[in-house]
Amino acid sequence: MNAPTTWRPRLADGTAPVLAVLAVLLVALAFAGPAYSEPTGYLALLKRAAPLMILAIGQYFVIVSGGFDLSVGSLVTAEVVIAARLIDGQESATIWVIPLLLALGVLVGLVNGLITTKLLVPSFIVTLGMLLVLDGAVFLWTGGAPRGALSPSFRVFGRGGIDLPVLGHLPWSVVILLVVLVAAAQFMRSGTGRTLVAVGDNQDAVRLAGGRVVRLKVLAFVLSGLLAALAAILLGGFAGVSAQVGEGLEFRAITAVVLGGVLLGGGRGSVVAAAAGALTLEALFSLLNLLGVSGALESAVQGVIIIAAVAYASLGANLRLGFRSRTATESSTRSTPPPHKENR
Amino acid sequence: MSVVQQKSEVARGAGRGGARRFSLTPTPTVTVYLALAVLLVVGSVLVGIQGGVLLDQGGILNILTRSTVLGLVAVGQTIVIINGSLDLSVAYLVGLCSLVAAETMAGSDGMMVPGVLLALGVAAVVGLVNGLVVTVLKVNAFIATLGVALILRGYLEENYTGPAGSVPRAFQHLGFDRVGPVPIGVLLMLAIAGAAWWYLRRTRGGYHMYAVGGDIDVARLSGVRTGRTIVTAHVLCAVAAGLAGVFLAGRLGSGAPYVGTDAGYDLESIAAVVLGGTALAGGRGGVVGTIGGVLILSTLDTIFDDLAVDPFFKDVVRGVVLIVAVALYARRQLSRRSG
């Protein structure tokens, strides 16, 4: 199989621009704010960005295999609200609520994946339906508003940390993020990970080559659900309980993944770049904040950059590939939405 | 793998047998109206048990009024989805157009026509931008329209905190008057739907849209100007959303920045289109089914209101209905394709 040899240069293609932009932003931050003259400033940035980066890693698995997961935002809200209701301020409940939350994330991902693969419903619709169901079900259960409170030991993951000699205060969320990132990168280098990318590129080819397409796609959704649950635990600790905690996170995570050069519709892109895309987004927001740009313009800036990033990626790919291989250009010039692939 | 082949063999057998046994092979459009009829019957019974009446004049009016705005947006959304594209910017566009219309009119009767025209013009420009980003910059439609939506959101959040502008009393007639028993808004929505049906099914441009949505490469090789077709679809969709905004301005008496997003018209309209049997991948479906989908959603709402069901339960049911409906269509499509 020569898949890795053709895959690696593409990976580098997508990764380089986002890393360059990220580097520029990080340097700009150092000039813009005095907080960034020390490592603690950047650690705080990483701590803020950790939930989105984890969500982006989860979303990456789904997108690279040719799908969408629109349900992660409402899943995050649901997890936080459920945690608050179940824990209700009791320390003793924390120990069993956390595994329960992670299991719920897995369950939601499993349902998403099974409906997508077994009932052949486009993942856009499945996860949109799941979004509605989760939104409705959670507030049906709590009676319209979040109730209860999180325990201090639950919130430690989101806002606590350990003191280390050199780095100073190292937040737990950064540690968790690094573990997830390394695990995800290792997974994508494994055979399963590479096959997952191949599913996004051409699932018929993978099926004919003996790959278990259904199992891989379900796995992608399960990972996305699990990581959304993890992000919810961090966000709950960091930001506390609210009914809006996950609002718009699905689109933000997709933005981050796309910013990382991952092709919507699957088959191209690296997980590290997706996480870097999320960090870039957060760094950009921090920079805009420091420069005194109003919060309202944040979304406008987000809109401009995702269009620019994708336009750069597809036009650039066209110029590079040019006349060389038709199939490669075809995948980037298609204006049809990715659900296309699932239907065929 | 062989499992899939076996499955499609089974499906093929079922599809053929089904076609022979029933003289009427239900298309998604037929299915959606059958489902609507069943829903109306079941709803009437449930509401009747509780001592109310679902389908009295007030109830029918309620269902139709609820359908107006979503119907307008969803008809536009149908056109882009048939092209294999989609538009996530409609929700913010509805709010923006209601503001443009209301602020231009500023309460004076003479500015009614310029207000409407300006709002529709703004909508057309936004649609043009969507279309050009998709076709010229080769950005995936999901990202392109999401980006435009975020830009519109930034503009709205920067400039507006609440309702602004006001429409003259004469214009509010659009929102509340009726011709006989039917509200003007419903007639407007049906007229737009009729025009869209005529365009899609009876004109060359409409056929080109199905061709582009079916397979863009084949369409291009057959001489269809694919870029122009997609841009046209986006402009039409945006104008339909703009019309929804103008209608809402008439109904509310002023422009409201978040009127479109509060109702979630972006995802909701896609849900209605898909519920109406239009394939999300493009190339199949139509406006008639979409109107059926919209009516199903608004009938569900009305039934739940009459039964005084928890509003959050509505979302759960909507989600389930959406997934089940699309799963049924996917199943049927599979059997027809292999049969």
What is the share, in percent, of chain A residues with pLDDT greater than 90? 40
Most confident of A199-203, A324-328, B18-22: A199-203
What was the pLDDT predicted at B109?
87
- Residue A307 inside a domain? The answer is yes
What was the pLDDT predicted at B335?
67
For testing contact with chain A, the best of B315, B318, B322 (most A CBs within 10 A): B315
What was the pLDDT predicted at B325?
86
Mean of pLDDT values over A291-301: 81
- Residue A4 inside a domain? The answer is no
For testing contact with chain B, the best of A62, A117, A124, A125 (most B CBs within 10 A): A125
Mean of pLDDT values over B12-31: 55
Question: What pLDDT digit, counting tens, does each position of B98-152 carry?
Answer: 999 999 999 888 889 999 999 999 999 999 999 999 999 988 898 899 999 999 9
What was the pLDDT predicted at B40?
92
- Residue A106 inside a domain? The answer is yes
Question: Which residue range forms the structural domain that includes residue A55?
Answer: 37-341
Which residues in chain A touch residue B315, judged by CB atoms under 8 angstroms apart? 132-133, 135-137
C-alpha separations of A177 from A45, A49, A158, A199 in Å = 12, 9, 11, 26
Query: Chain B: nearest CA to A303, how far in angstroms?
Result: 4
Most confident of A26-30, A73-77, B51-55, B322-326: A73-77
Question: Is residue A313 pLDDT above 80, yes or no?
Answer: no
Band the pLDDT of B57: cuts 50, 70, 90. confident
User: Is the CB of B84 less than 8 angstroms away from the CB of A336?
Assistant: yes
Return the percent helix, strand and coil in chain A, to nearest 5: 75, 0, 20
User: Is the CB of B331 less than 8 angstroms away from the CB of A315?
Assistant: no
For testing contact with chain A, the best of B139, B270, B300, B318 (most A CBs within 10 A): B139
B309 in reach of chain A (CB within 8 A):
no
> Residue B84: which of A137, A314, A337 has the nearest Cβ?
A337
Contacts of A182 (CB under 8 A, 6+ apart): none
- Residue A265 inside a domain? The answer is yes
Mean of pLDDT values over A164-172: 76
User: Is the CB of A125 less than 8 angstroms away from the CB of B216?
Assistant: no
Higher per-residue confidence, B46 vs A338? B46
For residues B81 and B236, what is the distance between their CA atoms, to the nearest angstrom? Answer: 12
What was the pLDDT predicted at A14?
61
Which residues in chain A touch residue B144, judged by CB atoms under 8 angstroms apart? 307, 310
Residue of B229, B200, B206 whose CA lies nearest to B134: B229
User: What residues does B164 pair with on adjacent strands?
Assistant: B255
Q: Are A326 and A257 within 8 A, CB to CB?
A: no
Cβ-Cβ pairs closer than 8 A, A with B, add up to: 185
Mean of pLDDT values over B177-200: 91
What was the pLDDT predicted at A167?
65
What was the pLDDT predicted at A296?
77
Query: In three state form, how does the secondary structure of chain B look?
Result: CHHHHHHHHHHHHHHHHHHHHCCCCCCHHHHHHHHHHHHHHHHHHHHHHCCCCCCCHHHHHHHHHHHHHHHHHHHHHHHHHHCCCCCCCHHHHHHHHHHHHHHHHCCCHHHHHHHHHHHHHHHHHHHHHHHHHHHCCCCCHHHHHHHHHHHHHHHHHHHCCCCECCCCHHHHHHHHCEECCEEHHHHHHHHHHHHHHHHHHHCHHHHHHHHHHHCHHHHHHCCCCHHHHHHHHHHHHHHHHHHHHHHHHHHHCCECCCHHHHCCHHHHHHHHHHHCCCCCCCCCCCHHHHHHHHHHHHHHHHHHHHCCCCHHHHHHHHHHHHHHHHHHHHHHHHHHHHC
Question: Is residue B83 pLDDT above 90, yes or no?
Answer: yes
User: Is the CB of B139 less than 8 angstroms away from the CB of A314?
Assistant: yes
Query: Chain A: nearest CA to B134, how far in angstroms?
Result: 6
Task: Return mean pLDDT, chain B.
Answer: 87
Residue A175 has which token pair?
């540690």
Task: Return mean pLDDT, chain A.
Answer: 83
Question: Is residue B15 pLDDT above 50, yes or no?
Answer: no
> Residue B157: which of A299, A301, A302 has the nearest Cβ?
A299
User: Is the CB of A335 less than 8 angstroms away from the CB of B141?
Assistant: yes
DSSP per-residue codes, A187-217: HHHSHHHHHHHHHHH-HHHHHHTT--HHHHH
User: What residues does A254 pair with on adjacent strands?
Assistant: none
A115 in reach of chain B (CB within 8 A):
yes
- Residue A30 inside a domain? The answer is no
Which residues in chain A touch residue B85, judged by CB atoms under 8 angstroms apart? 335-337
For residues B66 and B70, what is the distance between their CA atoms, to the nearest angstrom? Answer: 7
For residues A287 and A25, what is the distance between their CA atoms, to the nearest angstrom? Answer: 8
- Residue A26 inside a domain? The answer is no
Query: Chain A: nearest CA to B142, how far in angstroms?
Result: 6
Question: Is residue A333 pLDDT above 70, yes or no?
Answer: no
Higher per-residue confidence, A9 vs A201? A201
Region for B310 from its dihedrals, namely left if φ exceeds 0, alpha if ψ lies in -120 to 50, beta otherwise: beta
Question: Is residue A208 pLDDT above 70, yes or no?
Answer: yes
Helix (H) or strand (E) run with residue A229 in it: helix A213-239
Cβ within 8 Å of B, A 25-44: none
Residue A240 has which token pair?
């506390």
Question: Is residue B17 pLDDT above 70, yes or no?
Answer: no
pTM: 0.85
What was the pLDDT predicted at B329?
83
> Residue B138: which of A124, A128, A315 has the nearest Cβ?
A315
User: What residues does A161 pair with on adjacent strands?
Assistant: A171
Mean of pLDDT values over A50-66: 95
Give the residue on A whose Cα is nearest the Cα of B161: A296
Which residues in chain A touch residue B4, judged by CB atoms under 8 angstroms apart? 207
Query: Chain B: nearest CA to A235, how far in angstroms?
Result: 23
User: Is the CB of A264 less than 8 angstroms away from the CB of B143?
Assistant: yes
What was the pLDDT predicted at B334?
66
Band the pLDDT of A160: cuts 50, 70, 90. confident
Band the pLDDT of A319: cuts 50, 70, 90. low
What was the pLDDT predicted at B99?
95
How many domains would you assign to chain A?
Answer: 1
Mean of pLDDT values over A44-58: 93
For residues A83 and A235, what is the distance between their CA atoms, to the nearest angstrom? Answer: 12
Mean of pLDDT values over B292-303: 92
Higher per-residue confidence, B15 vs A94? A94
Question: What pLDDT digit, counting tens, does each position of B224-248 carry?
Answer: 999 999 999 999 999 999 999 999 9
A210 in reach of chain B (CB within 8 A):
yes
What was the pLDDT predicted at A9?
44
Give the residue on B whose Cα is nearest the Cα of A117: B327
DSSP assigned state of A38 = S
Q: Report the SS3 class of residue A316.
A: helix
What was the pLDDT predicted at B26?
67
- Residue A10 inside a domain? The answer is no
Give chain B's domains with CATH numbers.
Answer: 3-18+26-338 (1.10.3470)
DSSP per-residue codes, A249-312: HHHHHHHHHHHTTPPTTSS---HHHHHHHHHHHHHHHHHHHHTT--HHHHHHHHHHHHHHHHHH
DSSP assigned state of A161 = E
For residues B282 and B205, what is the distance between their CA atoms, to the nearest angstrom? Answer: 15
Cβ within 8 Å of B, A 269-298: 294-298
Higher per-residue confidence, B109 vs B22? B109
What was the pLDDT predicted at A321?
58
Q: Are A122 and B281 within 8 A, CB to CB?
A: yes
Question: Is residue A21 pLDDT above 60, yes or no?
Answer: yes
For residues A27 and A36, what is the distance between their CA atoms, to the nearest angstrom? Answer: 9
- Among the ranges given (A169-183, A221-235, A310-324, B133-147), the one the predictor scored with the smallest mean pLDDT: A310-324
Helix (H) or strand (E) run with residue A171 in it: strand A168-171
Query: Chain B: nearest CA to A301, how far in angstroms?
Result: 7
User: What residues does A171 pair with on adjacent strands?
Assistant: A161
Question: Is residue A92 pLDDT above 80, yes or no?
Answer: yes
Band the pLDDT of B25: cuts 50, 70, 90. low
Question: Is residue B22 pLDDT above 50, yes or no?
Answer: no
Query: Chain B: nearest CA to A340, how far in angstroms?
Result: 5
Mean of pLDDT values over A222-239: 93
What was the pLDDT predicted at B337?
55
What was the pLDDT predicted at A13?
54
- Residue A84 inside a domain? The answer is yes
C-alpha separations of B313 from A133, B38, B166, B198, B308 in Å = 8, 20, 35, 37, 11
Band the pLDDT of B53: cuts 50, 70, 90. confident
For residues A302 and B204, what is the distance between their CA atoms, to the nearest angstrom? Answer: 38
Question: Is residue B3 pLDDT above 60, yes or no?
Answer: no
